[in-house]
Amino acid sequence: MNEMTTISAEQAIRRDLAAAYRLVALHGWDDLIFTHISARVPGPEHHFLINPYGYMFDEITASSLVKVGMDGFPVDGGDALVNPAGFTIHSAVHEAREDAGCVMHLHTPDGTAVATSREGLQPLNQTAQLVIADLAYHEYEGVALDHDERPRLQQDLGGHNLMLLRNHGTLTVGRSVAEAFLRMYFLERACTMQVRTRILGHDDYPTQTSVIEKNAALSQGAGMQSVANHLVWPALLRKLDRIDPGYRN
């Protein structure tokens, strides 16, 4: 890959990552200046882009994203701040997973509620059944400031692409920003559906095991990746361009 192609690829990733921040804010998934989304840039160095600490998600632009190395410092030598807990979590995944093009981590009320529930996510509905086979869990160790936690996070995630961080929140991984976002959409929606189902206080209507397995298989193939990259993400960008196009700057 020549230098110009590399620069173009990084610009495209910056655009998509900035869009993801704006879309998280639009969906009400943000947590003031906390939580984070990262995207790896081309090259063998495992450099990745992440939000500058102190910015609201609806302020993030393609040019404001900070490129950091695996030491946690900005690659360009600038003085931008990066959330230290965010660096711990995201560097762990980008270090261990060559396929981790994007990592999303949120603290939503419903996602955190299910992560805090002993039962975790259950296959109560179609949406949950699409993600549950690809879901991992990680025990809570406090605010993620200790880099010694990274090997345990890596081990717990393994080859899965979705994770509930116990007593903490949700996390998804994708080869692209589009894939990580769609997985997060399904995971967060499944958590909300479970919270609402539990509020009803009635017995759950059962789904046959064969149906659960059939739905789980749908999310494991290339079809879901194609839907994310070629159908859902272009539609989301069109929507964002209509209502909040500043992310491209």
pLDDT digits (tens, 9 = 90+) for 232-244: 999 999 999 999 9
CATH code, residues 10-248: 3.40.225.10
In tens, the pLDDT along 163-219 reads 999 999 999 999 999 999 999 999 999 999 999 999 999 889 999 999 999 998 887
Q: In the chain, where are the structural domains located?
A: 10-248
DSSP assignment letter at 74? B
pLDDT for residue 72? 86
- Residues 6 or more apart whose CB falls under 8 angstroms from that of 7 comprise none
Hey, what are 128's tokens? 């949950």
In percent, the amount of the chain with pLDDT more than 70 equals 97
Is this prediction's pTM over 0.75?
A: yes
- Output the CA torsion 118→215→24→248 (10° steps): 150
pLDDT for residue 46? 86
CA–CA distance, 221 with 181 (Å, rounded to integer): 17
Hey, what are 168's tokens? 């903490």
CA–CA distance, 13 with 99 (Å, rounded to integer): 15
Confidence of residue 44 (pLDDT cuts 50, 70, 90): confident
- pLDDT (mean) for 5-18: 87
pLDDT for residue 178? 98
Amino acid at 32: L
In tens, the pLDDT along 150-169 reads 999 999 999 999 999 999 99
Hey, what are 49's tokens? 């882009």
Burial zone of 109 (CB within 10 Å; 0-12 exposed, 13-18 middle, 19+ buried): middle
Q: Kindly report the CA angle at 10 between 21 and 92, in degrees rounded to 5?
A: 65
CA–CA distance, 142 with 146 (Å, rounded to integer): 9
Q: Is 104 helix (H, G, I), strand (E, B) or coil?
A: strand
N residues, the chain: 249
